[in-house]
Amino acid sequence: NAGVTQTPKFQVLKTGQSMTLQCAQDMNHEYMSWYRQDPGMGLRLIHYSVGAGITDQGEVPNGYNVSRSTTEDFPLRLLSAAPSQTSVYFCASSTGGLNEKLFFGSGTQLSVL
Amino acid sequence: KNEVEQSPQNLTAQEGEFITINCSYSVGISALHWLQQHPGGGIVSLFMLSSGKKKHGRLIATINIQEKHSSLHITASHPRDSAVYICAVEGMRFGAGTRLTVKP
């Protein structure tokens, strides 16, 4: 199994540009989530989904949009990129909710100039 | 003050040493995760525990729910254990991580 696949691995954007970070899992997990990791701050939850058609905000949702049309895919959209969104982004999935074992993607390093 | 505090922030050890990483949290929880982030950036879940102790190979994780404290121990440390170890509590609130370097 591929597990959790994130694309792209690296991306450079200009301020104001939009883009979508892709996340797909092939484990039939209901729960998927997006995190950002900044130096010295640890991982922070952006958005999460407990199943197709259901999404909710995490700790730092502003500037990000998500949708969950299928069990497999959970894309993260930056509508108008800002330098403050420069970070490393991780997608994760699990069999259950926030308290089940998480499987992480390999991360996307995003720079906004 | 962060809800999840890890100590130490950085740790350097010699190969073979016994390692302890600590995690304290301020919120009531029913489960806690220990994650390992390799130098290449990938994150792997090591343990999820809600009470007592779990062991996997040379790794041992303990939790005391009443004292709001968990520890991750590595016995007979090896250079391949060099990584950032991250504690996360219910609701996916994360510590800032402990960077472990094991020297041969």
pLDDT digits (tens, 9 = 90+) for A56-85: 999 999 999 999 999 999 999 999 999 999
Interface test mutation site (partner A, options B86, B92, B98, max chain A beta carbons within 10 A): B92
CB contact under 8 A, B48 and A99: yes
Looking at the complex, does the CB of residue A104 fall below 8 Å from at least one CB of chain B? Answer: yes
Whether residue B18 has pLDDT greater than 70: yes
Q: How many CB atoms lie within 10 A of CB A48?
A: 23
| A40–B92 C-beta distance less than 8 A | no
> Which residues in A lie closer than 8 A to residue B4 (C-beta atoms)?
42
Q: Is B92 left (phi over 0), alpha (psi -120 to 50) or beta?
A: left
Residue A98 has what pLDDT? 62
Determine the residue of chain B that is closest to A102 in CA distance: B45
pLDDT band at A97 (very low <50, low <70, confident <90, very high): low
Measure CB to CB from residue A98 to each of B92, B95, B96 and give the nearest one.
B92
For chain A, the first-to-last Cα distance in angstroms comes to 36
